[in-house]
Amino acid sequence: MSSVSFRRLEKSYGAVRIVKGIDLEIADREFVVLVGPSGCGKSTTLRMLAGLESISGGEIRIGERVVNRLPPRERDIAMVFQDYALYPHKTVYENMAFSLKVRGVAADEIGKRIAEAADMLGIGQLLDRRPSQLSGGQRQRVAMGRAIVRRPQVFLFDEPLSNLDAKLRGQVRTEIKRLHQAVGTTIIYVTHDQVEAMTLADRIVILKGGEIEQVGTPDEVYNAPASVFVGGFIGSPAMNFAPGTIRGGRVVLEGGAEIALDRAALRADAAEGRAVVVGIRPEHFVPAGEGAEVAGTVQVVEPLGADTLVHFTLGKATLTARLAPDMRPAPGETLSIGINPSRIRLFDAQTERALH
């Protein structure tokens, strides 16, 4: 088990900078999820850590060792990919045994480790099959088993659930969390899916264009997004955003509507006349009479069973509120609704960074 550290980590392909100076300290036994849109440099970062890609600058440490130039097999990490990468002509047992054999581990020790991992993953009855005789979910479990038997310092996962259907994705996700609780090894996990990031991570690292946008616990990035980008990326439906101006303790939105701010929101830098973006999560609307009152025009109503999504216009902005299931306003109706004032976030209109 081991800590991992990136210092000013860089990657360029030719003149194109892909990873732009990442600084990150990952603690021993921590589960860290790198999340961000496609192309933001997640896989490249993971592959540099694994030694599958050279680095263009900076430093990578695993534990106390600088591994910048160490070949992959000397880094003592195991990687699980989206496409499983199993050997098609080997059985499940042989797939799991292969890397141990290469390292000269004794046959009875190999047998013991495979039995243990197979038990943990519920694949004991599949050991004689070949990958073509397995379902997608079973293949993914075998790929994880192959990583577990190596007892590496660090596990790396690159979008391991992408090829599974929705139901299986949920199941295997739970298994990965259980695996981490059972073996306690450091895990660095890459995904573009914010639900995976929120449910699995001790800490989430949100990447945008090869740079870290925010690092925090799931609660921190959800409750106090550092930027409009993070607020829009974490949470579903996404955080609502509306541009406006601070006037007399309120935000006057484009198109005329106003949102009253509480004292906490009116921090020192929410100065009179400042151009801001207001951020409100759909679940932070409350019944009329509680909180900052607004009145919008209902556009579309989506009943979801457990709750109702109401899309409405407020000034020029279109917002979404997640309301109680019995709330069924009609399109065109005026929706009078409150906003929990302590949950309103303000961002600078130019930089799109949160006001502190």
13 binds ligand ADP (CB under 6 A): yes
| 59 contacts 83 by C-beta, under 8 angstroms | no
Q: Which of helix, strand or coil describes residue 88?
A: coil
Q: Which is nearer to ligand ADP, 201 or 261 (CB)?
A: 201
Task: Tell the smallest beta-carbon distance from residue 190 to ligand ADP (Å).
Answer: 6
287 part of the interface to ligand ADP, by CB under 6 A: no
- Which residues within the stretch 99-118 sit at the binding site for ligand ADP (CB under 6 A)? none
- What is the DSSP track for 138-206? HHHHHHHHHHHTT--SEEEEESTTTTS-HHHHHHHHHHHHHHHHHH--EEEEEES-HHHHHHH-SEEEE
**Cβ-closest residue to Mg ion?**
43
Q: How far is the CB of 207 from Mg ion (least distance, A)?
A: 11
Q: For Mg ion, give the closer residue by CB, 43 or 186.
A: 43
Binding mask 29-68 for ligand ADP (x = CB under 6 A): -------x-xxxxxxx------------------------
Distance CA 251, CA 253 (A): 6
Least CB distance to ligand ADP at residue 288 (A): 43
Q: How many residues does the chain have?
A: 356
Minimum gap (Å) between residue 301 Cβ and ligand ADP: 35
Distance in angstroms (rounded) separating the CA atoms of residues 77 and 330:
56
The residue type at 271: A
125: partner contacted, choices Mg ion, ligand ADP, none (Cβ within 5-8 A by kind): none
Give least dist CB 189 to ligand ADP, A: 12
Sheet order of strands, 285-287 included = 285-287, 334-339, 292-303, 308-314, 317-323
77-80 sheet: strands from edge to edge: 77-80, 154-158, 186-191, 31-35, 203-208, 211-216
**Dihedral sign (CA 343, 347, 352, 356):** negative
Nearer to Mg ion, 51 or 282 (CB): 51
Residue 18 site contact among ligand ADP, Mg ion, none (CB < 5 to 8 Å, cut-off depends on kind): ligand ADP
The site partner of 35 among Mg ion, ligand ADP, none (C-beta below 5 to 8 Å per kind) is none
Partner from Mg ion, ligand ADP, none contacting 44, C-beta within 5 to 8 A by type: ligand ADP
Least Å from the CB of residue 158 to ligand ADP? 7
Pairing of strands 31-35, 203-208: parallel
Binding mask 30-69 for Mg ion (x = CB under 5 A): -------------x--------------------------
Report the alpha-carbon distance of residue 41 to residue 33 in Å, rounded. Answer: 13
Q: Which of ligand ADP, Mg ion, none does residue 87 bind (CB under 5 to 8 Å by kind)? A: none
Inter-helix orientation angle 92-102/107-121, to 10°: 130
> Quick one: 215 or 224, whose CB is closer to ligand ADP?
215
Of 38 and 350, the one with the shorter C-beta distance to ligand ADP is: 38
Q: Which positions lie near Mg ion, rule CB under 5 A?
A: 43
Q: Which positions lie near ligand ADP, rule CB under 6 A?
A: 13, 18, 36, 38-44
